[in-house]
Structure 1
Amino acid sequence: MKVSVIGATGYAGEELIRLITCHPEAELVAITSESQTGTSFDTVYPHFKGICEQKLASLQDLDEITAASDVLFVALPHGHAMEVGKKLSGSSVKMIDLGADYRFTDTNVYEKWYKVPHTHPQAQAVYGLTELFRDDVKTATIVGNPGCYTTASILALAPLAQAGLVDLKNIVVDAKSGVSGAGRGLSLNAHYSETADSIKPYGIATHRHTPEIEQALQRLSGQDVLLNFTPHLVPMTRGILSTCYATMKSGVTAKQVDEAYYDLYSNEFFIRLLGRGGYPVTKNTRGSNYCDIAWHIDERTGRVIAVSAIDNLVKGAAGQAVQNMNVMFGCDETAGLKLVPVFP
């Protein structure tokens, strides 16, 4: 597979290149950056010395890049991938968007939460959370890669929603992310002195990942979903920990909850079930494409508390994107992704 990365110098783009350079069936043919055009990649990221020293091209060269590619990964902020997608219309080149432009089936929802017009509503895009929507991904031309918070939260809640075990209008998601989730751009909120020895919530009741989680759970359950999602920034580089609270329906047993998780995920390579009573830890997934999931049942309140941990840059971004590419091209789904988590 001839692969190009549009927007290669952000953290997600860098992580894509790390994974692609180790992929047995992928060849990196082009990488772009509007701010670093003409610079070799290892100058921007010195740890790639001797591994990827390719020159960064510009989006102005998109026609040439497309002609040389089988698939484009677009790792740009929301609002930009749509223009790339429109230019690919009618071609055989596939696209995986790591931004939000193609995640929503209803473009009105996208416009409401992202505050920009959707200029490619006719795109036949699919939502690329592979474990849940693999059949869609197999035949897709454009894939909307899930967000990092949403990946962790949806995977934690999916068995409960699909099996109809919980009240889907009374879900609370409390999620925490490492600072790399804020991207590589300069921001006061991501400065070391602002984040070290501290934790803070943000985007309460307004975060853009809320409707993405609701959309996926609604599709799995066939019912309306309403939830509270609150993200937090914590002083670590990588990782997402999502703790999800849902009220069980009357008569639901612990055994039914256990069975829902094992029925859905027992054959999923990248889902590691820690079982009822387990405790996922972000460091145990660091640098890998794994998602660790456990659940607890509070008999006193009638709630199930599902917890998941992922690496926000791998399973929450680049690793999920490569997993989608593998499925789209009929490769081994784990190709290039059998990464042992980095510890300590």
Structure 2
Amino acid sequence: MSLRKALAHKRYDVRREALRALVPDATPHERKHLISVAGDDSADMRLAFAHLMEEHRWPEAIDSLIELLADTRNFGSHLSMGGAWSRFSVARSAAQALGAFEGLPVSAIDALLDAASAHSADPFVACAALSALAKQDDARITPVLLTALESPGLDGDAAFRPRAQAAAWALCDRATSEKLDALDPDAARVAQRDTSVIAGPLLVAFGALGGEPREKLLRELRAATQFERETLVFSDAAPDSWGRRLLERAYGNGLSEFEYLTLADDTCRQGALRFLDDAGKIIRGASADAVPRVVELQAITAIARAYEQGREISADEMQALAGAGGSGLLQRADTDDGGSIIEAEIHLAKRSKLFRQTEPPLSALAATFAK
């Protein structure tokens, strides 16, 4: 049986596997036929289609994904130990798929805005829609996100407010992707007073935006002795998990969040922030082995090439290769190229043997600063 014929098989699992096999290499002519699967009687087929479109992002599929936002096939169970709400998995996945597109037409943004504001038997469809809007260009999006910050909790539980949390993360994403110009005083109030899972992303957003709103928020946090939340405002400038390990190697364990922020050597600091003490002097570490440190371009390239070719390299050379990243990422190195500092990309097929760190979710970081 050919894959095309399998798409008409009476069993949905056969049709689904055929769809998964056909989509990756489909020609423009074949796509039109495959998109019709969005109208399949089986909700599992419609769900598979949404997942595939999130991965492959066919522009021709956007209209079908818009229609699937209204799909109310309930995948939930009355035996579930969770809340009493439904689980419209197809609609959720359609929203996630639309969010994967870099630029959506107005019709898709209209549909996501409607879904984000609608009262549905599945409240997490709205959450998915809010997340999908985060990086889109439309003046209506930010007001909708700000309004959603005030959403009540599910089943009257003030501690469980997924729509507000989704809105906070969407605003954070808009700020860090330069889709957001400013946050209003109501958002600052939420950042100061709300629970950490909602306030945390907003604090990062204020940090990314900068300007007087950030400075005003920082003053208010200091006045209220909310120092943990003040630190979170600067978390976007903090080193990642790999960079933290390098700092711990140079200065020992038990560093505070402030020390992680300020002990990085200022010579290679990137971004808009520079940290000064009360005298206006740059705060920098005292370690002889600066983190990050500047390395000679030809030397680090030779070490990387030797490692790539499987030749023996010394412990010092391995340390130089692993500790050269200015941003904490192993494949980047701050290098001295004849008097000027540049950041070079080092591509290693064997990278996994050297670097196994993964970033902790920012939600976990936010919880760390809960006060």
TM-score > 0.5, shorter chain as reference: no
Larger relative contact order (Cα-Cα within 8 Å, sequence gap ≥ 6): 1
The structure whose residues are more often strand, as a share, is 1
TM-score, normalized by length of structure 1?
0.30
The structure whose residues are more often helix, as a share, is 2
Q: Radius of gyration: which is bigger? A: 2
